[in-house]
Amino acid sequence: MKKLKLLSLLLCVLLLCACSLFPGSSPKPSASPAPTPVWTPAPTLAPSPTLSTPAPGQFVFTRENFPRMDGSTSLAPLARAAASVLLGETTDQVADLVNFNRTTQSYRNLMYGSCDIVISGEPAETIWGEFSQNSFEIDRAQIATDALVFVVNANNPVNSLTVEQLQKIYTGEITNWAEVGGDDVDIIPFQRNAESGSQAAMQKEVMGDLTMMTPPADYLISEMQGLIEAVRNYDNSTGAIGYSVYYYVNDMKMAEGLKILNVNGVEPTDATIRSGEYPLLTNLYTAVAKTTPEDAPARVLYNWLQSGEGQALVSAMGYVSVKG
C-alpha cells in the first residue's frame, strides 16, 4: 500500500510536469536534442484520455510504437510501472508488454533483434564474448543499485558471515554451521543457474577467481522463487543457505520464514546500499543496441529511465535509484 501511495504521488508529479510542456507554458530548455516522452497518468480502472495535443518535438508512446522490453526477472515490476506511466494504462493492462527472459538471455535477445531494450542486472561474462564474435555493440547506463544478499532459515542462529566465510562455504571448505558460530548442522549451499543475474553477481562480487564447488543437481536452482523456497523449506531444518538480489527478497516480501544475513557485519538496507557500506553491490542497467537512433522509441525510453522522472519512478518502485 505504501508503494502504491508513493507511485500515485509520483504520477501526480509527472502529470504536472507533462502539463508544463504544452503550449502556453514556458518549458525549460532540454540539454539533449532527443525527443521528450509525453506521459499520461496511470488510472485505477481504465486509461484516462490524452491530456492535450503534444507540442512539436515531443515523443508520444503508444501501444503500437512501445519498445519490446526484456531483462531480469527482478526488474519486471519496474518495466511494468514504466509502461503504465508512459501509456496511461494500469500495470495489469501493460503486462503483455513485459516478456522477460532473465538476465543473460535478454542481452542475447537484444543482439539477435528479439527485443529493443534491456532492463537488467549484470549478465554472465560469456555474453561479452558473444557480442564480440558478432560485432555487436550496445549503449548501457546504470539506473539503480542492488545488492547480493544471502538467506538462511529464520531459525538459524547465525546472523552474519564474512565474505571469506561465504567463499569457503561455496568452495566446500566450510561444511558445518558450527564452524561459523552456528549449530552442529551440515551446510546445504544452494546455487543459481549459470546465466542468472544472481549467479553472475555471486561470481563477480564474492568468488572472484575462486571456483565454486559443483553442486548436486538438486542444489542448482533455475528460478529465484525456487531458490527462496528451497532454502526456506529444506528438510525442515536450518541447514540451507542461498543468495538472491536485495530487491527481490526484501521489497517483494519473499523473506517470510527466512533471515537475510549481514555481511562483514553490515545489514543490507537501502541506506547501506546507497552509501556503499554494504560490501556486495551490483548495478542495474538499461541497454540498447548502439545503432539505435536517437528518435527511436527504445532510445527515448532508455534516456527517460535515466532522467529525473524515470529515476523518481525507480525509487517509488522500491529500487535504490542512482540519483537518489
Domain boundaries defined on the chain: 2-40+68-145+284-321, 147-281
Residue 42 scores a pLDDT above 60: no
Instruction: Give the per-residue pLDDT at 37.
Output: 59
The burial of 36, by beta-carbon neighbours within 10 Å (0-12 exposed, 13-18 middle, 19 or more buried), is given as: buried
Q: Cβ(102)–Cβ(248) under 8 Å?
A: no
pLDDT digits (tens, 9 = 90+) for 160-199: 999 999 999 999 999 999 999 999 999 999 999 888 888 9
pTM above 0.85, yes or no: no
Q: Report percent pLDDT > 70 for the chain.
A: 81
Residue 38 scores a pLDDT above 50: yes
The burial of 38, by beta-carbon neighbours within 10 Å (0-12 exposed, 13-18 middle, 19 or more buried), is given as: buried
Name the pairing type of β-strands 258-260 and 138-153: antiparallel
Sign of CA dihedral 251, 201, 229, 256: negative
Q: Which residues pair with 73 in a beta bridge?
A: none
Average pLDDT over residues 267-285: 94
pLDDT digits (tens, 9 = 90+) for 54-97: 444 678 999 999 999 999 988 999 999 999 999 999 999 999 99
Fold observed for domain 147-281 = D-Maltodextrin-Binding Protein; domain 2 (3.40.190)
DSSP SS3 for 276: coil
CA distance 11 to 227: 34
Residue 26 scores a pLDDT above 80: no
CA distance 299 to 296: 5
CATH of domain 2-40+68-145+284-321: 3.40.190.10
DSSP SS3 for 138: strand
pLDDT band at 41 (very low <50, low <70, confident <90, very high): very low
- Binning the chain into helix, strand and coil, the percentages to the nearest 5 are 40, 20, 40
Instruction: Give the per-residue pLDDT at 256.
Output: 79
pLDDT band at 29 (very low <50, low <70, confident <90, very high): very low
CA distance 286 to 293: 16
Q: Cβ(302)–Cβ(295) under 8 Å?
A: no
pLDDT band at 17 (very low <50, low <70, confident <90, very high): very low
Residue 258 scores a pLDDT above 70: yes
Q: Cβ(148)–Cβ(199) under 8 Å?
A: no
The burial of 319, by beta-carbon neighbours within 10 Å (0-12 exposed, 13-18 middle, 19 or more buried), is given as: buried
Q: Which residues pair with 192 in a beta bridge?
A: 221
C-alpha cell recorded at residue 158: 547465525
CA distance 271 to 153: 24
Say whether 147-281 and 2-40+68-145+284-321 share the same fold.
yes
Average pLDDT over the chain, rounded to whole? Answer: 84
Query: Cα-Cα-Cα-Cα dihedral of 300, 301, 304, 310, to 10°?
Result: 170
